[in-house]
A = this chain, B = another copy of it.
Amino acid sequence: MRTKNPFEPRAVVSRRGGRVKKPLSLELIVSTALELLRREGSDAMSLRRVAAALDTGPASLYVYVDDVLELEALVLDRALAGVRVTAKPTSAWRRRLTALLESYFQVLFGTPGLARLAMRRIAAGPNALRMVEAMLGLLDEAGLDGPTAAWAVDLLTLYVTAIAAEQTERVGELDPLGPIAAVLRTVKATEHPRVHRLRDELVSGCGDQRFAWALDVLLTGLAQTPARKR
């Protein structure tokens, strides 16, 4: 598979068009995987494709990574480096928290497959911690007690992740609203009167509108929730 010619040492010239082959490292593997995900979509991030991009066989990656699950978690955390956690401290907590979650949403929504990856892996790296720390600070400003804030972090991230995953799914479908819209059109008023009456409302609104509305509901609910005792 690789050239045996000693005059073309593999560290300098690779078979794949003369690209210089860097030595393997976890760092390189993770960034290559993320790059692949960004450029070619969620299906492109397999151990084999990453290995191929690094001009090696899949077995080589197992020196740095236990399995594909670990790689996915690392890729997710690395992508979270792009989340802006600090806004002008002049604005109100609610505005800043919204901005943070919007940034998180955009990061997930921006690279295909990342949101769904975030649904099945939980990032437990430095960037995830940075996000949680910032959110706890903002929820503290909001007047929430510690225990409530701790659970609120989970609720908020889980919801934003889920809606990003849902929105991602729908992108690129023929009917942007998916098969649901088709089904809703056939619902009979006699059988499901409410669904029939609200069939347009059920699928109305773009991602941004729904996101903003839902965040409002969540934050309002959190503000009204009684403190949890430790």
Spell out A's residues near B (CB within 8 Å). 73, 116, 119-120, 122, 124-125, 129-130, 132-133, 136-137, 140, 146-147, 149-155, 158-159, 161-163, 165-166, 169, 178-180, 182-183, 187, 192-195, 197-198, 201-202, 204-205, 210, 213-214, 216-222, 224-225, 228, 230
Contact = CB atoms under 8 A, between A and B. Distances in A.
- A interface majority secondary structure: helix
Nearest to A180: B124
Contacts of A216: 221, 225
A202 B154 contact: yes
Given A150-B202, A151-B213, A163-B158, A225 B220 contact: yes
A153 B218 CA distance: 14
Contact of A218 (B120, B147, B192, B218): B218
A180 B122 CA distance: 8
Contact of A124 (B183, B194, B230): B183
30 contacts: A116-B119, A116-B120, A119-B119, A119-B162, A120-B169, A122-B166, A122-B169, A122-B180, A124-B182, A129-B183, A129-B187, A129-B192, A132-B192, A132-B195, A133-B192, A136-B195, A137-B194, A140-B194, A147-B201, A149-B198, A150-B201, A151-B201, A151-B210, A151-B214, A155-B159, A159-B162, A217-B222, A220-B225, A221-B221, A221-B224
